[in-house]
Amino acid sequence: MRSVRARTSLGATLVVALALAVAGVALLAVLRGSLASQAELQANVTARSVAVQVAAGTPFGELDLPDEAEEHPVQVVSDGRVVALGEGIEAIEGAGSRSVRVVPVGPVEEGDGGGGVSEDVRYSTGEVTVEGEREAYRFAAVEVKAGDGREATVYAGSAVQAAAVSGVRTAMLAALPALLVVVAGTTWLVTRRALAPVEGIRREMAAVTASADLSRRVPEPGTHDEVARLARTTNETLAALEASVERQRRFVADASHELRSPIASLRTQLEVGAAHPALLDLPGAVEDTVRLQGLAADLLLLARLDAGERPGQARVDLAALVRAEVAQRSGDRVPVRVAAEGAAEVSGSRAQLVRVLGNLLDNAQRHAEGEVAVEVRRDGGEVLLAVADDGAGVPEAERERIFERFVRLDDARSRDEGGAGLGLAIARDVAARHGGTLRAARSPSGGARFELRLPAV
Protein backbone atom coordinates (compact mmCIF):
# COMPACT_ATOMS: atom_id res chain seq x y z
CA MET A 1 0.00 0.00 0.00
CA ARG A 2 2.19 2.82 -1.34
CA SER A 3 -0.36 5.64 -1.23
CA VAL A 4 -0.20 7.96 1.77
CA ARG A 5 -3.96 8.50 1.47
CA ALA A 6 -4.62 4.77 1.57
CA ARG A 7 -2.33 4.23 4.56
CA THR A 8 -3.83 7.19 6.40
CA SER A 9 -7.39 6.08 5.70
CA LEU A 10 -6.64 2.51 6.77
CA GLY A 11 -4.86 3.67 9.91
CA ALA A 12 -7.67 6.05 10.87
CA THR A 13 -10.28 3.36 10.24
CA LEU A 14 -8.42 0.83 12.39
CA VAL A 15 -7.99 3.34 15.20
CA VAL A 16 -11.67 4.30 15.11
CA ALA A 17 -12.71 0.62 14.96
CA LEU A 18 -10.54 -0.17 17.98
CA ALA A 19 -11.86 2.85 19.86
CA LEU A 20 -15.47 1.96 19.07
CA ALA A 21 -14.89 -1.65 20.11
CA VAL A 22 -13.42 -0.60 23.44
CA ALA A 23 -16.17 1.97 23.96
CA GLY A 24 -18.85 -0.59 23.02
CA VAL A 25 -17.53 -3.18 25.43
CA ALA A 26 -17.38 -0.56 28.18
CA LEU A 27 -20.90 0.66 27.38
CA LEU A 28 -22.32 -2.86 27.43
CA ALA A 29 -20.58 -3.57 30.71
CA VAL A 30 -21.98 -0.39 32.28
CA LEU A 31 -25.45 -1.11 30.89
CA ARG A 32 -25.36 -4.71 32.11
CA GLY A 33 -24.19 -3.59 35.55
CA SER A 34 -26.86 -0.89 35.75
CA LEU A 35 -29.63 -3.32 34.78
CA ALA A 36 -28.32 -5.89 37.26
CA SER A 37 -28.30 -3.30 40.07
CA GLN A 38 -31.84 -2.26 39.20
CA ALA A 39 -32.97 -5.90 39.16
CA GLU A 40 -31.35 -6.52 42.55
CA LEU A 41 -33.11 -3.51 44.03
CA GLN A 42 -36.51 -4.63 42.74
CA ALA A 43 -35.89 -8.22 43.88
CA ASN A 44 -34.86 -7.01 47.34
CA VAL A 45 -38.02 -4.92 47.70
CA THR A 46 -40.23 -7.83 46.65
CA ALA A 47 -38.44 -10.32 48.93
CA ARG A 48 -38.74 -8.04 51.96
CA SER A 49 -42.44 -7.36 51.34
CA VAL A 50 -43.09 -11.13 51.45
CA ALA A 51 -40.74 -11.60 54.42
CA VAL A 52 -42.66 -8.98 56.39
CA GLN A 53 -45.86 -11.00 55.88
CA VAL A 54 -44.14 -14.14 57.13
CA ALA A 55 -42.73 -12.33 60.16
CA ALA A 56 -46.19 -10.94 60.91
CA GLY A 57 -47.53 -14.49 61.28
CA THR A 58 -49.25 -14.94 57.93
CA PRO A 59 -49.40 -18.67 57.13
CA PHE A 60 -47.23 -19.75 54.18
CA GLY A 61 -50.27 -20.85 52.22
CA GLU A 62 -51.94 -17.47 52.63
CA LEU A 63 -49.04 -15.22 51.63
CA ASP A 64 -49.89 -12.41 49.19
CA LEU A 65 -47.39 -13.11 46.41
CA PRO A 66 -47.01 -10.93 43.24
CA ASP A 67 -49.63 -11.74 40.65
CA GLU A 68 -47.24 -11.55 37.70
CA ALA A 69 -44.77 -14.33 38.30
CA GLU A 70 -42.93 -13.63 35.02
CA GLU A 71 -41.88 -10.21 36.40
CA HIS A 72 -41.27 -11.07 40.07
CA PRO A 73 -41.12 -14.83 40.72
CA VAL A 74 -41.16 -15.70 44.45
CA GLN A 75 -40.24 -18.87 46.28
CA VAL A 76 -40.32 -19.44 50.04
CA VAL A 77 -38.23 -22.28 51.43
CA SER A 78 -38.34 -23.61 55.01
CA ASP A 79 -36.34 -26.60 56.27
CA GLY A 80 -35.36 -27.40 52.67
CA ARG A 81 -38.96 -27.61 51.52
CA VAL A 82 -40.83 -25.20 49.22
CA VAL A 83 -43.66 -23.83 51.32
CA ALA A 84 -44.80 -21.08 48.92
CA LEU A 85 -44.34 -20.48 45.17
CA GLY A 86 -45.48 -17.85 42.71
CA GLU A 87 -48.35 -18.81 40.45
CA GLY A 88 -47.47 -20.15 37.00
CA ILE A 89 -43.83 -21.02 37.72
CA GLU A 90 -42.98 -24.20 35.83
CA ALA A 91 -39.24 -24.41 36.56
CA ILE A 92 -36.85 -22.44 38.73
CA GLU A 93 -33.07 -22.40 39.13
CA GLY A 94 -30.90 -20.24 41.35
CA ALA A 95 -33.34 -20.05 44.26
CA GLY A 96 -33.34 -22.19 47.40
CA SER A 97 -34.81 -25.25 45.70
CA ARG A 98 -35.37 -26.42 42.14
CA SER A 99 -38.69 -27.95 43.21
CA VAL A 100 -41.93 -26.35 42.03
CA ARG A 101 -44.09 -28.48 44.33
CA VAL A 102 -45.33 -26.73 47.43
CA VAL A 103 -45.19 -28.83 50.57
CA PRO A 104 -48.12 -28.05 52.92
CA VAL A 105 -47.18 -27.28 56.50
CA GLY A 106 -49.13 -27.77 59.65
CA PRO A 107 -51.25 -25.14 61.36
CA VAL A 108 -49.53 -22.18 62.86
CA GLU A 109 -49.02 -22.45 66.57
CA GLU A 110 -48.98 -19.58 68.97
CA GLY A 111 -45.48 -18.35 69.40
CA ASP A 112 -43.77 -15.81 71.52
CA GLY A 113 -44.21 -13.10 68.87
CA GLY A 114 -40.50 -13.10 68.18
CA GLY A 115 -40.76 -13.07 64.38
CA GLY A 116 -38.47 -10.78 62.38
CA VAL A 117 -36.76 -10.09 59.03
CA SER A 118 -32.98 -10.25 58.70
CA GLU A 119 -31.20 -7.16 57.46
CA ASP A 120 -28.84 -9.27 55.38
CA VAL A 121 -29.58 -10.11 51.77
CA ARG A 122 -27.90 -12.50 49.39
CA TYR A 123 -28.00 -12.24 45.60
CA SER A 124 -27.77 -14.96 43.01
CA THR A 125 -28.50 -15.44 39.32
CA GLY A 126 -30.86 -18.05 37.99
CA GLU A 127 -33.50 -18.83 35.40
CA VAL A 128 -37.27 -19.22 35.68
CA THR A 129 -39.72 -20.77 33.26
CA VAL A 130 -43.18 -19.22 33.32
CA GLU A 131 -45.82 -20.39 30.88
CA GLY A 132 -43.15 -21.88 28.65
CA GLU A 133 -40.99 -18.72 28.55
CA ARG A 134 -37.51 -19.13 30.03
CA GLU A 135 -35.69 -15.98 31.19
CA ALA A 136 -32.74 -14.99 33.35
CA TYR A 137 -33.39 -13.43 36.73
CA ARG A 138 -31.49 -11.87 39.59
CA PHE A 139 -32.64 -13.33 42.95
CA ALA A 140 -32.57 -11.69 46.38
CA ALA A 141 -32.66 -14.07 49.39
CA VAL A 142 -33.90 -12.70 52.73
CA GLU A 143 -33.93 -14.74 55.97
CA VAL A 144 -37.10 -14.41 58.08
CA LYS A 145 -38.36 -15.87 61.37
CA ALA A 146 -42.09 -16.55 61.54
CA GLY A 147 -44.23 -15.78 64.56
CA ASP A 148 -44.38 -19.47 65.49
CA GLY A 149 -40.61 -19.65 65.61
CA ARG A 150 -40.06 -21.39 62.29
CA GLU A 151 -37.36 -20.00 60.00
CA ALA A 152 -37.70 -19.54 56.26
CA THR A 153 -35.93 -17.93 53.35
CA VAL A 154 -37.77 -15.77 50.85
CA TYR A 155 -36.39 -15.77 47.31
CA ALA A 156 -37.70 -13.05 44.98
CA GLY A 157 -36.48 -12.53 41.46
CA SER A 158 -36.43 -9.68 38.96
CA ALA A 159 -35.66 -9.97 35.25
CA VAL A 160 -32.18 -8.64 34.31
CA GLN A 161 -33.42 -7.34 30.93
CA ALA A 162 -30.85 -9.32 28.94
CA ALA A 163 -32.88 -8.54 25.84
CA ALA A 164 -32.07 -4.85 26.24
CA VAL A 165 -28.33 -5.55 26.39
CA SER A 166 -28.60 -7.86 23.41
CA GLY A 167 -30.53 -5.22 21.47
CA VAL A 168 -27.94 -2.56 22.14
CA ARG A 169 -25.15 -4.94 21.13
CA THR A 170 -26.96 -5.85 17.91
CA ALA A 171 -27.55 -2.19 17.07
CA MET A 172 -23.90 -1.34 17.67
CA LEU A 173 -22.66 -4.21 15.52
CA ALA A 174 -25.05 -3.20 12.74
CA ALA A 175 -23.96 0.46 12.82
CA LEU A 176 -20.23 -0.24 13.10
CA PRO A 177 -19.55 -1.11 9.41
CA ALA A 178 -21.45 1.94 8.16
CA LEU A 179 -19.61 4.21 10.58
CA LEU A 180 -16.23 2.77 9.55
CA VAL A 181 -17.09 3.34 5.89
CA VAL A 182 -17.92 6.97 6.68
CA VAL A 183 -14.66 7.39 8.63
CA ALA A 184 -12.59 5.82 5.84
CA GLY A 185 -14.27 7.92 3.14
CA THR A 186 -13.95 11.15 5.12
CA THR A 187 -10.30 10.48 5.91
CA TRP A 188 -9.61 9.69 2.25
CA LEU A 189 -11.21 12.94 1.08
CA VAL A 190 -9.60 15.09 3.77
CA THR A 191 -6.17 13.54 3.18
CA ARG A 192 -6.55 13.94 -0.56
CA ARG A 193 -7.34 17.62 -0.17
CA ALA A 194 -4.53 18.13 2.34
CA LEU A 195 -1.99 16.40 0.08
CA ALA A 196 -3.11 18.13 -3.12
CA PRO A 197 -0.46 20.90 -2.68
CA VAL A 198 2.19 18.23 -2.08
CA GLU A 199 1.23 16.59 -5.36
CA GLY A 200 1.53 20.00 -7.03
CA ILE A 201 5.01 20.40 -5.56
CA ARG A 202 5.97 16.92 -6.79
CA ARG A 203 4.73 17.60 -10.32
CA GLU A 204 6.58 20.91 -10.50
CA MET A 205 9.78 19.35 -9.16
CA ALA A 206 9.45 16.58 -11.75
CA ALA A 207 9.06 19.25 -14.43
CA VAL A 208 12.14 21.07 -13.15
CA THR A 209 14.11 17.83 -13.24
CA ALA A 210 12.94 17.02 -16.75
CA SER A 211 13.54 20.50 -18.17
CA ALA A 212 16.59 21.45 -16.06
CA ASP A 213 14.99 24.90 -15.76
CA LEU A 214 15.95 26.03 -12.26
CA SER A 215 14.06 29.30 -12.65
CA ARG A 216 10.74 27.52 -12.14
CA ARG A 217 9.14 27.54 -8.70
CA VAL A 218 6.65 25.24 -6.99
CA PRO A 219 3.20 26.65 -6.11
CA GLU A 220 2.90 27.96 -2.57
CA PRO A 221 -0.52 27.45 -0.92
CA GLY A 222 -2.04 30.37 0.91
CA THR A 223 -2.17 28.47 4.19
CA HIS A 224 0.38 28.71 7.00
CA ASP A 225 0.75 25.00 7.69
CA GLU A 226 3.56 22.50 7.16
CA VAL A 227 2.80 22.11 3.46
CA ALA A 228 3.14 25.85 2.88
CA ARG A 229 6.43 25.88 4.77
CA LEU A 230 7.60 22.91 2.67
CA ALA A 231 6.74 24.81 -0.52
CA ARG A 232 8.60 27.92 0.65
CA THR A 233 11.63 25.88 1.69
CA THR A 234 11.58 24.09 -1.67
CA ASN A 235 11.51 27.40 -3.53
CA GLU A 236 14.34 28.72 -1.38
CA THR A 237 16.32 25.58 -2.19
CA LEU A 238 15.61 26.01 -5.91
CA ALA A 239 16.67 29.66 -5.71
CA ALA A 240 19.91 28.74 -3.93
CA LEU A 241 20.54 25.96 -6.43
CA GLU A 242 19.87 28.29 -9.35
CA ALA A 243 22.25 30.88 -7.90
CA SER A 244 24.89 28.20 -7.30
CA VAL A 245 24.60 26.84 -10.83
CA GLU A 246 24.67 30.35 -12.28
CA ARG A 247 27.70 31.19 -10.17
CA GLN A 248 29.39 27.98 -11.28
CA ARG A 249 28.53 28.69 -14.92
CA ARG A 250 29.86 32.22 -14.65
CA PHE A 251 32.95 30.94 -12.87
CA VAL A 252 33.67 28.45 -15.64
CA ALA A 253 33.12 31.08 -18.31
CA ASP A 254 35.33 33.61 -16.54
CA ALA A 255 38.00 30.99 -15.87
CA SER A 256 37.98 29.97 -19.51
CA HIS A 257 38.27 33.61 -20.53
CA GLU A 258 41.12 34.26 -18.11
CA LEU A 259 43.00 31.15 -19.19
CA ARG A 260 42.56 31.88 -22.88
CA SER A 261 44.78 35.00 -22.87
CA PRO A 262 47.98 33.57 -21.30
CA ILE A 263 47.60 30.31 -23.22
CA ALA A 264 47.13 32.13 -26.52
CA SER A 265 50.05 34.45 -25.78
CA LEU A 266 52.28 31.55 -24.78
CA ARG A 267 51.32 29.56 -27.88
CA THR A 268 52.01 32.53 -30.14
CA GLN A 269 55.43 33.06 -28.64
CA LEU A 270 56.30 29.38 -28.93
CA GLU A 271 55.11 29.22 -32.53
CA VAL A 272 57.15 32.31 -33.42
CA GLY A 273 60.13 30.88 -31.59
CA ALA A 274 59.76 27.58 -33.43
CA ALA A 275 59.70 29.35 -36.83
CA HIS A 276 62.19 32.09 -35.96
CA PRO A 277 64.30 31.19 -32.94
CA ALA A 278 65.94 34.57 -32.95
CA LEU A 279 62.59 36.26 -32.33
CA LEU A 280 61.65 34.10 -29.30
CA ASP A 281 60.66 36.27 -26.31
CA LEU A 282 61.82 33.88 -23.62
CA PRO A 283 61.20 36.22 -20.64
CA GLY A 284 57.67 36.90 -21.92
CA ALA A 285 56.99 33.18 -22.30
CA VAL A 286 58.23 32.54 -18.76
CA GLU A 287 56.08 35.40 -17.45
CA ASP A 288 52.98 34.01 -19.20
CA THR A 289 53.75 30.55 -17.84
CA VAL A 290 54.12 31.89 -14.31
CA ARG A 291 50.87 33.84 -14.62
CA LEU A 292 49.14 30.75 -16.02
CA GLN A 293 50.51 28.65 -13.18
CA GLY A 294 49.28 31.15 -10.57
CA LEU A 295 45.85 31.32 -12.15
CA ALA A 296 45.59 27.54 -12.21
CA ALA A 297 46.62 27.42 -8.53
CA ASP A 298 43.95 30.00 -7.65
CA LEU A 299 41.27 28.08 -9.51
CA LEU A 300 42.31 24.83 -7.83
CA LEU A 301 42.16 26.45 -4.38
CA LEU A 302 38.72 27.90 -5.09
CA ALA A 303 37.51 24.50 -6.24
CA ARG A 304 38.75 22.93 -3.01
CA LEU A 305 37.08 25.65 -0.94
CA ASP A 306 33.80 25.23 -2.84
CA ALA A 307 33.98 21.50 -2.20
CA GLY A 308 33.96 22.22 1.54
CA GLU A 309 37.60 21.56 2.35
CA ARG A 310 38.15 22.32 6.02
CA PRO A 311 41.37 23.98 7.19
CA GLY A 312 43.76 22.33 9.58
CA GLN A 313 43.74 22.94 13.32
CA ALA A 314 47.35 24.05 13.77
CA ARG A 315 48.17 26.99 16.06
CA VAL A 316 49.44 29.87 13.95
CA ASP A 317 50.96 33.07 15.34
CA LEU A 318 49.75 35.73 12.91
CA ALA A 319 52.25 38.30 14.19
CA ALA A 320 55.22 36.03 13.52
CA LEU A 321 53.70 34.95 10.21
CA VAL A 322 53.36 38.58 9.04
CA ARG A 323 56.92 39.47 10.04
CA ALA A 324 58.32 36.41 8.25
CA GLU A 325 56.31 36.90 5.05
CA VAL A 326 57.04 40.63 4.78
CA ALA A 327 60.74 39.99 5.28
CA GLN A 328 60.74 37.66 2.25
CA ARG A 329 59.04 40.16 -0.10
CA SER A 330 62.15 41.87 -1.42
CA GLY A 331 60.68 42.85 -4.78
CA ASP A 332 57.74 44.95 -3.54
CA ARG A 333 57.20 48.27 -5.30
CA VAL A 334 56.55 50.25 -2.12
CA PRO A 335 57.79 49.61 1.41
CA VAL A 336 55.67 47.72 3.91
CA ARG A 337 55.42 48.98 7.49
CA VAL A 338 54.57 46.27 10.06
CA ALA A 339 53.03 46.87 13.49
CA ALA A 340 52.84 43.45 15.16
CA GLU A 341 53.69 43.35 18.84
CA GLY A 342 53.27 40.24 20.96
CA ALA A 343 51.71 36.90 20.05
CA ALA A 344 48.39 36.68 18.22
CA GLU A 345 47.61 32.99 17.80
CA VAL A 346 44.76 31.56 15.78
CA SER A 347 43.80 28.04 14.74
CA GLY A 348 43.86 26.98 11.10
CA SER A 349 45.98 26.25 8.05
CA ARG A 350 49.24 28.17 7.92
CA ALA A 351 49.51 27.77 4.14
CA GLN A 352 46.02 29.20 3.55
CA LEU A 353 46.63 32.11 5.93
CA VAL A 354 49.89 32.87 4.14
CA ARG A 355 47.89 32.89 0.91
CA VAL A 356 45.40 35.40 2.38
CA LEU A 357 48.20 37.69 3.58
CA GLY A 358 49.96 37.46 0.21
CA ASN A 359 46.79 38.32 -1.69
CA LEU A 360 46.10 41.33 0.54
CA LEU A 361 49.67 42.58 0.19
CA ASP A 362 49.63 42.09 -3.60
CA ASN A 363 46.37 44.05 -3.81
CA ALA A 364 47.81 46.86 -1.66
CA GLN A 365 51.01 46.98 -3.72
CA ARG A 366 49.02 47.48 -6.92
CA HIS A 367 47.14 50.48 -5.56
CA ALA A 368 49.50 52.09 -3.03
CA GLU A 369 51.28 55.33 -3.86
CA GLY A 370 54.00 55.38 -1.24
CA GLU A 371 53.37 52.99 1.63
CA VAL A 372 51.59 49.81 2.77
CA ALA A 373 50.87 49.31 6.47
CA VAL A 374 50.19 45.96 8.14
CA GLU A 375 48.80 45.75 11.68
CA VAL A 376 48.32 42.63 13.82
CA ARG A 377 46.84 42.76 17.34
CA ARG A 378 44.46 41.09 19.74
CA ASP A 379 40.99 42.65 19.80
CA GLY A 380 38.95 41.02 22.55
CA GLY A 381 38.41 37.38 21.61
CA GLU A 382 39.64 37.94 18.07
CA VAL A 383 42.86 38.57 16.25
CA LEU A 384 42.83 41.52 13.83
CA LEU A 385 45.05 41.58 10.76
CA ALA A 386 44.69 44.84 8.81
CA VAL A 387 46.40 45.74 5.52
CA ALA A 388 46.08 49.38 4.44
CA ASP A 389 47.45 51.44 1.54
CA ASP A 390 47.51 55.14 0.68
CA GLY A 391 46.01 54.75 -2.77
CA ALA A 392 42.66 55.87 -4.18
CA GLY A 393 40.65 53.54 -1.95
CA VAL A 394 37.50 51.56 -2.73
CA PRO A 395 34.15 53.36 -3.23
CA GLU A 396 31.72 52.45 -0.48
CA ALA A 397 29.18 51.09 -2.97
CA GLU A 398 31.80 48.65 -4.33
CA ARG A 399 33.20 47.33 -1.03
CA GLU A 400 31.24 44.09 -1.25
CA ARG A 401 31.42 43.55 -5.00
CA ILE A 402 35.21 43.49 -4.97
CA PHE A 403 35.05 40.15 -3.13
CA GLU A 404 33.24 38.53 -6.05
CA ARG A 405 35.28 36.33 -8.34
CA PHE A 406 36.87 37.84 -11.46
CA VAL A 407 35.79 41.35 -10.45
CA ARG A 408 38.18 44.23 -11.28
CA LEU A 409 36.95 47.74 -10.55
CA ASP A 410 39.45 49.38 -12.89
CA ASP A 411 38.50 47.97 -16.28
CA ALA A 412 41.20 50.06 -17.93
CA ARG A 413 43.97 48.19 -16.13
CA SER A 414 45.75 45.53 -18.06
CA ARG A 415 45.45 41.95 -16.94
CA ASP A 416 49.12 41.81 -16.19
CA GLU A 417 48.82 44.69 -13.75
CA GLY A 418 45.42 43.95 -12.32
CA GLY A 419 45.48 40.21 -11.98
CA ALA A 420 42.53 37.90 -12.61
CA GLY A 421 40.33 39.26 -9.83
CA LEU A 422 40.51 36.14 -7.67
CA GLY A 423 42.77 37.25 -4.82
CA LEU A 424 40.16 38.96 -2.65
CA ALA A 425 37.58 36.26 -3.36
CA ILE A 426 40.03 33.60 -2.21
CA ALA A 427 40.94 35.64 0.87
CA ARG A 428 37.30 35.99 1.97
CA ASP A 429 36.54 32.30 1.36
CA VAL A 430 39.56 31.26 3.42
CA ALA A 431 38.53 33.67 6.19
CA ALA A 432 35.04 32.19 6.25
CA ARG A 433 36.43 28.63 6.40
CA HIS A 434 38.47 29.70 9.45
CA GLY A 435 35.39 31.08 11.18
CA GLY A 436 36.37 34.69 10.56
CA THR A 437 35.45 37.68 8.42
CA LEU A 438 37.13 39.91 5.86
CA ARG A 439 35.79 43.35 4.99
CA ALA A 440 36.94 46.46 3.19
CA ALA A 441 37.03 49.92 4.78
CA ARG A 442 38.73 53.29 4.39
CA SER A 443 42.24 53.73 5.76
CA PRO A 444 43.29 56.83 7.73
CA SER A 445 45.43 57.89 4.75
CA GLY A 446 42.43 57.76 2.42
CA GLY A 447 43.23 54.46 0.72
CA ALA A 448 41.78 51.01 1.19
CA ARG A 449 41.97 49.07 4.45
CA PHE A 450 41.20 45.34 4.57
CA GLU A 451 40.45 43.90 8.02
CA LEU A 452 40.74 40.16 8.62
CA ARG A 453 39.27 38.99 11.94
CA LEU A 454 39.80 35.44 13.18
CA PRO A 455 38.87 33.77 16.49
CA ALA A 456 41.83 33.91 18.85
CA VAL A 457 43.11 30.71 20.41
How is residue 308 annotated by DSSP?
T
Q: How confident is the model at residue 410 (pLDDT cuts 50, 70, 90)?
A: low
Q: Is the pLDDT of residue 113 over 60?
A: no
CA distances from 422 to 99, 259, 317, 345, 408 (A): 114, 13, 25, 27, 9
Amino acid type, 448: A
- Report the alpha-carbon distance of residue 74 to residue 71 in Å, rounded: 10
Which range among 18-22, 171-175, 219-223 has the greatest average pLDDT? 18-22
Q: Is the pLDDT of residue 305 over 80?
A: no
Its CATH architecture, for the domain 226-301, is Orthogonal Bundle (1.10)
Residue-level pLDDT at 416: 44
Q: How confident is the model at residue 2 (pLDDT cuts 50, 70, 90)?
A: low
Q: What are the boundaries of each domain within the chain? A: 4-166, 226-301, 310-455
- The DSSP code sequence of 34-68 is HHHHHHHHHHHHHHHHHHHHHHTT--GGG----S-
Give Cα 336 distance to the centre of its chain. Answer: 57
* Mean pLDDT value across residues 434-456: 92
> Poorest-confidence range of 134-138, 166-170, 413-417?
413-417
The crossing angle, in degrees rounded to 10, of helices 350-367 and 423-433 is 150
Strands 122-130 and 89-93, how do they pair? Answer: antiparallel
Q: What is the pLDDT of residues 350-408, one digit of tens each?
A: 989 998 999 999 999 989 998 999 999 998 889 999 999 998 889 988 889 888 877 77
Q: Is the pLDDT of residue 198 over 90?
A: no
253 exposure class (CB count in 10 Å sphere: 0-12, 13-18, 19+): exposed
- Report the alpha-carbon distance of residue 116 to residue 105 in Å, rounded: 20
Domains 226-301 and 310-455 share a fold: no
Q: Is the pLDDT of residue 455 over 90?
A: yes
Q: Is the pLDDT of residue 446 over 60?
A: yes
Residues 6+ apart with CB under 8 A from 299: 255, 422
Residue-level pLDDT at 101: 65
Q: How confident is the model at residue 411 (pLDDT cuts 50, 70, 90)?
A: very low
Q: Is the pLDDT of residue 414 over 50?
A: no
* Mean pLDDT value across residues 311-319: 88
- Report the alpha-carbon distance of residue 80 to residue 65 in Å, rounded: 20
Residue-level pLDDT at 211: 81
Phi, psi of 132 (to 5 degrees): 80, -5
The crossing angle, in degrees rounded to 10, of helices 226-275 and 282-306 is 160
* Mean pLDDT value across residues 50-74: 82
Q: What is the pLDDT of residues 246-275, one digit of tens each?
A: 877 877 777 777 777 778 878 888 888 888
**Polymer length in residues for the chain:** 457
Q: For 310-455, CATH number?
A: 3.30.565.10
CA distances from 363 to 14, 68, 262, 332 (A): 72, 117, 20, 11
